[in-house]
Amino acid sequence: MPMSAPISVFDFSAPLLDGANVSLGKFRGEVLLIVNTASQCGFTPQLGGLEALYRGYQKRGFRVLAFPCNQFAGQEPGTAAEIEQFCHLNYAVTFPVFAKIEVNGPGAHPLYRFLKARKPGLLGLLTRGRIQWNFTKFLVDRQGQVRARYGPAAKPAGLGPAIERLLQEG
């Protein structure tokens, strides 16, 4: 019997840095910001802004989910332990950081295939939704639907109004 196509981000799972597999269904009913991250990128300081968003909104049902990726200029070469240590020591990250994944190409994680299909970005069909760089952000509503896509230069603090709107939608 064929599997049905995923209808929300809650249909996916991925391992955390420690290897524990997590169903994104665990976050059902919460607003999510899903971000591909890297430790050695010019945008890496955004980890601090992402943590500020997380701390500011988490009690209202908001989560940041980070997915390290080494597909852009080798800017995430570390092991899981090194990534975890870097995030905690440099940015006091408390939001979930998943195991390193690919976001483009044949090895792209199924979650990222889904995200890109739902919000292909500015160049959309020309790039088949391709993620252009680290720190591309997807905002997901409480029903697991992708509501917005933001490029790497979008500062986390600037996403507050959009997050607020989704939190108020209930």
Query: Catalytic pick from 41, 47, 103, 139?
Result: 41
Give the Cα-Cα-Cα angle 59, 85, 16 (nearest 5 degrees).
60
- Count the alpha carbons within 13 Å of 137 in the hemisphere toward its beta carbon: 25
- Give the DSSP H/E element, type plus range, for residue 31: strand 31-37
CB 17 within 8 A of CB 26: no
d(CA 56, CA 169): 18
Is 69 among the residues known to form the active site?
no
Annotated active-site positions, please? 41
